[in-house]
Structure 1
Amino acid sequence: MMSMKIKNTCLYLPGFLLLAVVSCSLDPQVENTFEDDATWSYPDYAEGVLLNAYANIPTRFSSYSSNFLDVATDNAVTNDFGSDIYEVSTGGIRPANNPVGHWSQAYDQFRNIHLFLENGLDEKIIYSLTDDETNAEYRARLKGESFFLRAWWGFRLLQEYGGKSNNGTALGYPIVTRTPTEEELNNVEGISRNTYAECIQQIVADIDTAVVYLPVRYTGSNSVTGSTNLGRADDQVALALKSRVLLYAASPAYQNDDITGIAGMGDFTVLDEATYEAGWVRAAQAAQAALDLIGGVPGLKEGDFNSNNTPEEFIWRKYHNDRTLENQNFPPLNFGNGDTSPSQDLVDAFPAENGYPIDDPRSDYDPGNPYEHRDPRFYLNIMYNGREFLGTPLETYEGGKDTRSVNVNATRTGYYLRKWLALQDLLNVENPTNTHHYHALIRKTEVLLNFAEAANEAWGPTAIGPGTDRSALDAINTIRGNAGITDDSYAAEVAAMGRDAFRKLIQNERRLELAFENHRFFDMRRWLLPLDQGVKGVRIVKAGNGSLTYETFEVEQRGFYDIKDYYLPLPYNEQVKSNLVNNLGW
Structure 2
Amino acid sequence: MKNIFKFLVLMLVITSCDDVFEPAIENIRDLDAMDKEPAYAQGILANAYILLPYSSNPGSDVATDNAVSNDINNYYLAMATGSWSSQSNPLSQWEGRQNAIQYINLFLERTDEVLYSQNEAINTMFNDRLKGEAYALRALHMYYLLLAHGGWSDDGRLLGTTIRTEPETAVSNFNVPRNTFQECVNQMFADIDMAIDLLPLDYGDIGDSEIPEKYKSLGVTNAGDYNRANGNHIRGRISGRIIEAVKAQIALLAASPAYQAGTDIGYEDAAGYAALVLNRINGVAGLDMNGNTWYSNDDIDNLDAGVAPSEIIWRSTMESSNELEKENFPPSLFGNGRINPTQNLVDAFPMRNGYPISDVSYDPENPYFNRDPRLEKYIVLNESEQGSGDEVIVTGTYSNNSNGLNKDNGYSTRTGYYLRKLLRSDCNPDPEFNTEQKHYTARIRYTEIFLAYAEAANEAWGPTGTGGASSYSAYDVVKAIRQRAGIDSDDLYLESIKSDQDMMRELIRNERRIELCFENHAFGICGVGKWLI
TM-score with structure 2 setting the length: 0.83
The question of 1:407 aligning with 2:440 is answered: no
Q: Which moved more, 1:173-182 or 1:291-300?
A: 291-300
Name the CA distance, whole Å, in 1 between partners of 2:160 and 2:443.
22
The structure 2 residue matched to 1:375, chosen from 372, 377, 380, is 372
The structure 1 residue matched to 2:86, chosen from 92, 95, 101, is 95
Are the counterparts in 1 of residues 427 and 437 from structure 2 also a CA contact under 8 Å?
A: no
Give 2:174's aligned residue: 188
Give 1:152's aligned residue: 140
Give 2:18's aligned residue: none
Are the counterparts in 2 of residues 50 and 146 from structure 1 also a CA contact under 8 Å?
A: yes
The structure 2 residue matched to 1:248, chosen from 224, 248, 253, is 253
Higher strand share: 1
Are the counterparts in 2 of residues 399 and 406 from structure 1 also a CA contact under 8 Å?
A: no
Question: CA 1:324 to 1:240, structure 2 compared with 1: closer, same or farther past 3 Å?
Answer: same
Give 2:23's aligned residue: none
Question: CA 1:188 to 1:69, structure 2 compared with 1: closer, same or farther past 3 Å?
Answer: same
Tell me how far 1:224 sits from its aligned partner: 3.1
Question: CA 1:530 to 1:119, structure 2 compared with 1: closer, same or farther past 3 Å?
Answer: closer
Please report the RMSD computed on the Cα atoms of aligned residues, expressed in angstroms. 2.4
SS at match of 1:321: strand
Name the CA distance, whole Å, in 1 between partners of 2:382 and 2:531.
30
Give 2:312's aligned residue: 314
Name the CA distance, whole Å, in 1 between partners of 2:69 and 2:112.
46
Give 2:219's aligned residue: none
Cα deviations by residue, 1:408-467 (Å, 9 ceiling, x for unpaired): 211111111011111124312123132211201100011111101011111111112133
The structure 1 residue matched to 2:36, chosen from 41, 47, 54, is 41
SS at match of 1:113: helix
Are the counterparts in 1 of residues 405 and 416 from structure 2 also a CA contact under 8 Å?
A: no
Cα deviations by residue, 1:38-69 (Å, 9 ceiling, x for unpaired): 4442222210110111112256431xxxx521
What amino acid is aligned across from residue 242 of structure 2 in structure 1? Answer: V
Any gaps of 5 or more consecutive residues in structure 2?
1-26, 207-226
The structure 2 residue matched to 1:449, chosen from 448, 451, 461, is 451
Tell me how far 1:301 sits from its aligned partner: 4.1
Q: Percent identity?
A: 41
1 or 2 for the larger relative contact order (CA 8 Å, sep ≥6)? Answer: 1
Give 1:575's aligned residue: none
Tell me how far 1:334 sits from its aligned partner: 1.5
Are the counterparts in 2 of residues 383 and 416 from structure 1 also a CA contact under 8 Å?
A: yes
The structure 2 residue matched to 1:239, chosen from 244, 256, 259, is 244
Question: CA 1:254 to 1:405, structure 2 compared with 1: closer, same or farther past 3 Å?
Answer: closer
Tell me how far 1:115 sits from its aligned partner: 0.9
Are the counterparts in 1 of residues 150 and 181 from structure 2 also a CA contact under 8 Å?
A: yes
SS at match of 2:230: coil
Q: How does 1:68-107 map to 2 (within 5 A)?
A: 68-90=59-81, 92-107=83-98
Tell me how far 1:132 sits from its aligned partner: 4.4
SS at match of 2:452: helix
Higher helix share: 2
Question: CA 1:41 to 1:56, structure 2 compared with 1: closer, same or farther past 3 Å?
Answer: same
Are the counterparts in 2 of residues 34 and 40 from structure 1 also a CA contact under 8 Å?
A: no
Give 1:204's aligned residue: 189
What amino acid is aligned across from residue 200 of structure 2 in structure 1? Answer: P
SS at match of 1:511: helix
Report the structure number with the largest CA radius of gyration.
2
What amino acid is aligned across from residue 491 of structure 1 in structure 2? Answer: L
Give 1:138's aligned residue: 126
Q: How does 1:102-501 map to 2 (within 5 A)?
A: 102-122=93-113, 124-126=114-116, 128=117, 132-180=120-168, 182-183=170-171, 185=172, 187-189=173-175, 191-220=176-205, 222-256=227-261, 279-295=266-282, 296-298=286-288, 300-302=291-293, 304-305=295-296, 307-308=300-301, 309=303, 310-319=308-317, 320-361=319-360, 364-390=361-387, 391-400=390-399, 401=401, 402-408=403-409, 409-486=411-488, 487-496=490-499, 498-501=500-503
SS at match of 1:180: coil
